[in-house]
Amino acid sequence: MMHIDLQAILNEIAQEVEPFYGKGNVADYIPALAKVPARQFGMSVSLLNGQEYVVGDADVPFSIQSISKVFTLVMAFREKGDEVWKRVGREPSGTPFNSLTQLETTGGYPRNPFINAGAHVVSDMLMDFLPNPRQSLLGFVRMLTLNETIDYDAEVAESERIHGDRNRALAYYMKSFGNIHHEVDQLLDVYFHQCALSMSCRDLSRSLLFLANHGIVPHSGEQILNESRSKRLASLMLTCGLYDEAGEFAFRVGLPGKSGVGGGIVGIIPGLLSVAVWSPELDVSGNSVLAMEALERFTTKLGISVF
């Protein structure tokens, strides 16, 4: 690793992705997201040894959206262990993130924790053991990043709530099967806020470093997940982290990853580093066009992936 000039690689990537502006669309199904200026690109790499490399808009906070599903799953898995899998599966869905269809044949059991239905179940689990899941989640990401200024974007959360009928439908449908235990409005208040967490690429790459480090936060030595659980979390990111494009992401990038409709994508190289990329324009599956391009170039130039 030492002989690789990571800063030079990031600078090259930032130039090479420029021609891809205009090839996707900023998420517009939630009005507060539609207002984000399209021509922005940031990338941040955190190494286990504490070094950080950034380029572009790496310190601009954005709505992390579904990337939050990694944090909530970690919190639930840490507390409940394999109990989690009684209520949510571990198979790629091959369907859009907000799809309802599979829930009918599975009796309200979501295919995995990274589609919306699965994330609702995970947040419902957090409500089982946390008096204030919103506050706990905030404390968790602030601890991981050492950034006390991270907060929820209240406008995005409210916009999600106003335009959240699909999520309401998913949650009520699962509740009818007994797989949501709490009041749907209270559950979705947690879910809409987790989507509205506002973090930068630098925050995100820092925050996920423990997953590249056998579950241990490098800066504090705190063990968040044991080695086996940390590995399992990463395997779920690989198979399910990019919805119906998980296969495409494994094919082009080759890392455990997670995306969000705010335009962020995070990835990890176990034993080495975590990386976060952000650019708001999305492809049809809801994944950032420039972030995909950047990560494909990143693993190609490094010559390292999990394969």
Residues carrying an active site annotation? 66, 69, 191, 243, 261
Q: Is the distance from CB of 246 to CB of 239 less than 8 angstroms?
A: yes
Q: Shortest Cβ distance from residue 149 to ligand DON (Å)?
A: 22
Touching ligand DON, residues 140-169 (CB under 6 A): 160, 167
Instruction: Say how far apart CA 190 and CA 184 lie, in whole Å.
Output: 10
The piece of 11-19, 87-95, 144-152, 259-267 that touches ligand DON (CB under 6 A) is 259-267
Nearer CB in complex with ligand DON: 65/205: 65
DSSP for 147-163 reads: -TT-EE-HHHHHHHHHT
Nearer CB in complex with ligand DON: 66/93: 66
Q: Using the rule CB under 6 A, is 116 a contact of ligand DON?
A: yes
Applying CB under 6 A, the site for ligand DON has a residue count of: 12
Nearer CB in complex with ligand DON: 231/252: 252
Touching ligand DON, residues 86-115 (CB under 6 A): 97-98
Instruction: Pick from 48, 211, 234, 261 the residue near ligand DON by CB under 6 A.
Output: 261
Q: Which helix (H) or strand (E) holds 46?
A: strand 42-47
Q: Shortest Cβ distance from residue 101 to ligand DON (Å)?
A: 16
Q: Is the distance from CB of 266 to CB of 203 less than 8 angstroms?
A: no
Instruction: Say how far apart CA 116 and CA 108 lie, in whole Å.
Output: 12
The piece of 44-52, 145-153, 175-183, 256-264 that touches ligand DON (CB under 6 A) is 256-264
243 is in an annotated binding site: yes
What tokens appear for 241 in the block? 């982290």
Cβ within 8 Å of residue 1, ≥6 positions away: 47, 272
- Using CA of residue 272, residue 63, residue 13, residue 57, what is the dihedral sign? negative
Residue with tokens 């409940």: 80
Which of 2, 22, 126 lies closest to 74, judged by CA? 126
What tokens appear for 269 in the block? 């190289």
Q: Shortest Cβ distance from residue 63 to ligand DON (Å)?
A: 8
Q: Using the rule CB under 6 A, is 6 a contact of ligand DON?
A: no
116 is in an annotated binding site: yes
∠ CA 286-287-293, rounded to 5°: 150
261 is in an annotated binding site: yes
Binding site for ligand DON (CB under 6 A): 65-66, 97-98, 116, 160, 167, 195, 259-261, 286
Q: Which residues are annotated as a binding site?
A: 66, 116, 160, 167, 191, 243, 261
Q: Which residues are annotated as a binding site for substrate?
A: 66, 116, 160, 167, 191, 243, 261
